Structure 1
Amino acid sequence: MESITSIDAVKGMLLESFTYKEISQELKCQYPLRGGLSERSVRRFVKNNGIKEEAKTEQRNVVRESIREVGDSYGRKMLKVLSNGFWDQVRVDHGREFYLVLFVQDKLRQTRGCSEVLPTFQTTSTNNHVIERMSVELNRRVIYPIKHAIVEMQETAAINMDCPVTVFAVSNVLMRVTEVGMNRMIISWNNHFIPRRGVPNVLRDTRFGTTRIDTQDLPSAPSAISLYTDQGGILSNPSCVGNDPLQGNMALMQQRESEWISSFSTSDLFGDILHGNVSSLNNAIQFYVTLSLTLS
């Protein structure tokens, strides 16, 4: 294992409460062509390097810092989550993608059902909340199958990633397909039993709950962005991946979306990917490219 992964990587997973079996599964997902990643190998690697003892003595470093900038547009999209209820606390790592969500959470702290806890909570990237274990399943069920499909298409020259229009099409199609996989994964995760903890949906309803707030109290995305920047926050503008020939022509962009959606089912595309069939995904991408070029 020494030639495959690092001590810090394994220690990070132990700090996140991964079991030896889960560490083995995660490494196998990351390095599907490498051997020597069994649960027994993980145990030996941890013991030989004294990782478990080091992880036990490493204290949690929880820092609540001023929100100054955000990395991408994902934080803006997360505002939609609040419409389903306002959490007593939002807990994330120190990545910048959630900073706008943290800003709104802090602004509306008085509307929470429980004011005894901090409205926001950040931990180090190697010391995340146990929900980070969900990322193992997300990678296994969604991310890696999609990555493998794209790699296969590149290796067979089915797609040309040197073409900026193709890159744009791949990005847009995969975002839709990935969303299907993520939604399925979330539903499955929230309804499965976690040893020593219970079923997430049951725990939510019986122990944690959310607080409903009036729509007028929740700022729209533009309003939140304005409030954030007025107080010194810095936001990066969303960037376009690849080249969209229809950029700036809203009517043609909407026509493209309508024609593509009527021709393909993202649910079927994701199902085909899971079964190793990449031809439908390739057809969807090529159709998106053709539409973009034809309408331009």
Structure 2
Amino acid sequence: MRILGWSGFGLKQALVHLIDQEAIDMQDNTVKFCVSNLTCQLSQIGLDRVVQSWNAHRIPGRGIPNERAAAGGPAPISEDLLPSAAVAADRFGQEFGSSLSREAAFGVDPFHTEEDRSRAQRDFAVAHPDPSVIFDNVVNNDHSAFHEALFCLLNATERNV
């Protein structure tokens, strides 16, 4: 779980730095959209790595999840073990005495057509074909690749809306 915590911390540090330097305006819907888009994409890389790592290591008394899963089909999981996001948020509040934000500020999708969105994604992918490189830099406290990627995404979005 450490990589997930560090990646979230690194992403937040990179964003706070841009906000402190007044390089981005988080009140602008396009900026919010692009920040959310890129941050979610990079967070997914970290989450995928954590899950892959967890499923490949031995759990005392239980074995290795990947090996156990290979032996049979999927096992049903009760809703109690895997609740919906709303139920999990409520349980978090009950258990820890605090609450999670229920409202997200992801910004409004600025694209008018799917073609516009695809062009912007293509432009971004040409400049940054492997987002895991950006993630790896952020985790290692090098925010420059994240900053460059964010401005690239902002420019690609603004050119295609």
The yes-or-no answer on 1:258 pairing with 2:122 is yes
Tell me by how many angstroms 1:141 deviates.
4.4
The yes-or-no answer on 1:244 pairing with 2:88 is no
Query: Is the contact between residue 158 and residue 282 of structure 1 (CA under 8 Å) also seen in structure 2?
Result: no
Rg (Cα) greater in structure: 1
Rounded Cα–Cα distance in structure 2 between residues aligned with 1:262 and 1:245:
21
Residues 217-236 of structure 1 show CA distances to partners (whole Å, capped at 9, x for unaligned) of xxxxxxxxxxxxxxxxxxxx
Give the equivalent residue in structure 2 for 1:83.
none
Give the alignment's TM-score, normalised by structure 1.
Answer: 0.40
Candidates 28, 38, 52, aligned match of 1:187: 52
The one-letter code of the counterpart of 1:192 is H
Candidates 122, 126, 133, aligned match of 1:268: 133
Give the alignment's TM-score, normalised by structure 2.
Answer: 0.70
Query: Is the contact between residue 142 and residue 182 of structure 1 (CA under 8 Å) also seen in structure 2?
Result: no
The yes-or-no answer on 1:155 pairing with 2:42 is no
Give the 5 Å matches for 1:66-215: 136-137=1-2, 139-206=4-71, 209-210=73-74
Residue segments in structure 2 that go unaligned for 5+ positions in a row: 76-103
Percent identity between the two aligned chains = 23
Give the equivalent residue in structure 2 for 1:123.
none
The aligned length equals 132
Which one has more relative contact order, counting CA pairs under 8 Å at least 6 apart?
A: 2
Residue segments in structure 1 that go unaligned for 5+ positions in a row: 1-135, 212-238
Tell me by how many angstroms 1:195 deviates.
2.4
Instruction: Determine which structure has the larger helix proportion and give its number.
Output: 2
Shift of the 251–240 alpha-carbon distance from structure 1 to 2, 3 Å rule, reads: farther
